[in-house]
Structure 1
Amino acid sequence: MALPLPFSFTFLLLLLAPSFVFSSPLQDPELVVEQVHKSMNASRRNLGFLSCGTGNPIDDCWRCDANWEKNRNRLADCGIGFGKNAIGGRDGRYYVVTDPGDHPVNPKPGTLRYGVIQKEPLWIIFKKDMVIKLKEELIMNSFKTIDGRGANVHIAGGPCITIQFVTNVIIHGINIHDCKRGGNAYVRDSPTHYGWRTVSDGDGVSIFGGSHIWVDHCSLWNCEDGLIDAIHGSTAITISSNYMTRHDKVMLLGHSDSYTQDKNMQVTIAFNHFGKGLVQRMPRCRHGYFHVVNNDYTQWEKYAIGGSANPTINSQGNRFLAPNDGTVKEVTKRENSPESEWENWNWRSSGDLMLNGAFFTPSGKGASSSYARASSLSAKSSSLIGSITASAGALKCPKGSRC
């Protein structure tokens, strides 16, 4: 189990010696924290410790299985939160990506795009390590799983993933970064249809009118717009065990203050590591119901959790490490409304660990019925955050052994 912060650097370094060595003098305390965690996590992985009993119910459901490769579909039964019923391609056949190439209108068999546009359920896996630079948005069809386990897969350098007006999609174990705008081009979205796409936003994962969506164990950074955005009536979403770093506007949940259809949005954000170089929107919420539970926040430059248009936000069991800048200790930010309005919004912090002066400004009367609707799973103690989130991001899963 990771030691809760604050902790003694001397004790921790002695504990890890001789595997952890640093040069003197010490110049960047944040770098030391990051290196210590990396060293601890690497040691645990070598021991197989992180595969079982981490307190992360998703991982504890499947990572103990040395035959995970033969039982890939089991992942679909391990979901939690509002998106727990997303089955992806569980009931379909395997489709193997063998070719990193891309053609937006006439994709070749063996490419990722050819798989995701099919009408049948598919569990999509990768034959080898690859970097896929898409020429236009990857427009998903319903009942698809993109499963990167067993390979080092990057979707990067071009437009990225769009989940628009479809349902039951799982994205797991992918590195998604340096995503660019696309559009003003024809793009195929099914075997029988392609259409003209206007300019896209440049999100890592864009969810537009989608439902039963689960994004798990992905590493995301440095995209042109958001890392993960969900808008226009999207709901039944879980965003879990991802590692996010080096980005400004991380996650937008809700289209606009005037788009009231997003009142039905329900999103669970659980077990993620919000790492270095992040600025804001972890997440930024509108209208709906948001359960932010057991995440590790190690940096924000403006705020961590924000919103407008009266969303309900239930923050439970998170660890918030405020930056050293004394002006940005607050976790929360309300936008587009005076205090006379937002003081009635139901935002609460329950069991959160506040470090280095971090503080959460609650509001509303906190009706139990409101928070019950915004709760999607039981929160673990914030003291377990180190163990729960230690392996956030894309996993290195050796075939024939525990992941």
Structure 2
Amino acid sequence: MVIKLKQELIMNSFKTIDARGTNVHIANGACITIQYVTNVIIHGLNIHDCKPTGNAMVRSSPSHYGWRTMADGDGISIFGSSHIWVDHNSLSNCADGLIDAIMGSTAITISNNFFTHHNEVMLLGHSDTYARDKIMQVTIAYNHFGEGLVQRMPRCRHGYFHVVNNDYTHWEMYAIGGSADPTINSQGNRYLAPVNPNAKEVTHRVITQGRWRHWNWRSEGDLMLNGAFFTPSGTGAGANYARASSLSAKPSSIVSSLTSGSGALVCRRGSQC
């Protein structure tokens, strides 16, 4: 089925969207908002062609609806929320970001997703001046960043970001960017640089070098192909890098198999998926 939402689907805490065994598209209208809640799972959806909506009365719970201003048109918008798992979804071609997490959101895992045909893929952190995002911790694992992507895979501010065992087969500007002193730990990824000789660098810092030389950005065990290179900075050690020890990186040589099932799964009822 294709679900065209007139307004945002606003999640409550302790809720799961599980689309295994179906072929569900949320498309051509509003998409999903996770705001001031906790313990949410989104699994198995095709999310694409999301549009700005709002300036309308929108239901935010089974018992309440109220006035909402304009939404940006994100595929999944995470706002002031925690303990969020976005897994095995296919996302493309939305008006703003495919997944954005801002305003003090943390404890987020974005895994096994397939991203295609989009400019600003993923924003993690509200603004350079919003210091509350220093609590943000995000794990980005086993995703395939594929055809037609330009930048922000992800674009990070302030927090700690573990980018592990992802397959980057396309970008036009850069893969990972950041500002405002984020810690970025890149492990066991495969980075295939584009043909464009001016876009070989995986990393992009939105600031001059004198300000970012102490930021902890490191690459460990990454596979760099077609001239791709990662510019590290900071000490590359210390407690900041220990936060993601619960997910150990596998060798980058097997990333293709690790991400072969990325995106919404094709499942059959009655069989394991």
Cα distance, 1:191 vs structure 2: 2.0
In structure 2, what is the equivalent of residue 348 of structure 1? 218
One-letter amino acid matched to 1:279 = V
In structure 2, what is the equivalent of residue 378 of structure 1? 248
- Deviation digits for residues 129-170 of structure 1, max 9, x if unmatched? x11000001111111100000110000000100000001000
Equivalent residue for 2:125, pick from 242, 254, 261 = 254
Cα distance, 1:275 vs structure 2: 0.2
3-state SS of the aligned residue for 2:185? strand
Cα distance, 1:300 vs structure 2: 0.5
3-state SS of the aligned residue for 1:327? helix
In structure 2, what is the equivalent of residue 169 of structure 1? 40
CA distance in 2, matches of 1:218, 1:276: 16
CA distance in 1, matches of 2:177, 2:162: 13
Aligned-residue identity in percent: 75
CA distance in 1, matches of 2:266, 2:166: 21
RMSD value, Cα: 0.8
Cα distance, 1:400 vs structure 2: 2.2
Cα distance, 1:375 vs structure 2: 4.5
Listed as ranges, the matches of 1:296-375 within 5 Å are 296-335=167-206, 337-375=207-245
Normalised by the size of structure 2, how large is the TM-score? 0.99
- Deviation digits for residues 203-240 of structure 1, max 9, x if unmatched? 00000001000000000000000000000000000000
One-letter amino acid matched to 2:72 = D
3-state SS of the aligned residue for 2:197? coil
In structure 1, what is the equivalent of residue 96 of structure 2? 225
In structure 2, what is the equivalent of residue 391 of structure 1? 261
CA distance in 2, matches of 1:225, 1:162: 13
Cα distance, 1:374 vs structure 2: 4.8
Cα distance, 1:190 vs structure 2: 1.3
CA distance in 2, matches of 1:390, 1:149: 17
Structure 1 residue ranges (4+ consecutive) displaced by more than 2 angstroms after TM superposition: 373-376, 400-403
Alignment partner of 1:268 is 2:135:
no
CA distance in 2, matches of 1:374, 1:330: 25
Listed as ranges, the matches of 1:3-402 within 5 Å are 130-335=1-206, 337-402=207-272
3-state SS of the aligned residue for 2:59? strand
Q: Mean alpha-carbon deviation: is it higher for 365-374 or for 239-248?
A: 365-374
What stretches of structure 2 of length at least 5 have no aligned partner? Answer: none
Cα distance, 1:376 vs structure 2: 4.5
Q: Is the 8 A contact 1:288 1:311 kept in 2?
A: yes
One-letter amino acid matched to 1:245 = T
One-letter amino acid matched to 2:58 = V
* Pair member with larger Rg: 1
One-letter amino acid matched to 1:151 = T
3-state SS of the aligned residue for 2:198? coil
CA distance in 1, matches of 2:4, 2:18: 17
One-letter amino acid matched to 1:297 = Y
In structure 2, what is the equivalent of residue 124 of structure 1? none
Cα distance, 1:328 vs structure 2: 0.4
3-state SS of the aligned residue for 1:315? strand
Q: Is the 8 A contact 1:228 1:252 kept in 2?
A: yes
Give the direction of change, closer, same or farther, for the CA distance of 1:375–1:304 in structure 2 (3 Å limit). farther
- Deviation digits for residues 2-45 of structure 1, max 9, x if unmatched? xxxxxxxxxxxxxxxxxxxxxxxxxxxxxxxxxxxxxxxxxxxx
One-letter amino acid matched to 2:14 = F
Cα distance, 1:338 vs structure 2: 1.4
Q: Is the 8 A contact 1:313 1:374 kept in 2?
A: no
CA distance in 1, matches of 2:239, 2:41: 30
What is the number of residues matched between the two proteins?
Answer: 273
One-letter amino acid matched to 2:59 = R
CA distance in 1, matches of 2:80, 2:246: 20
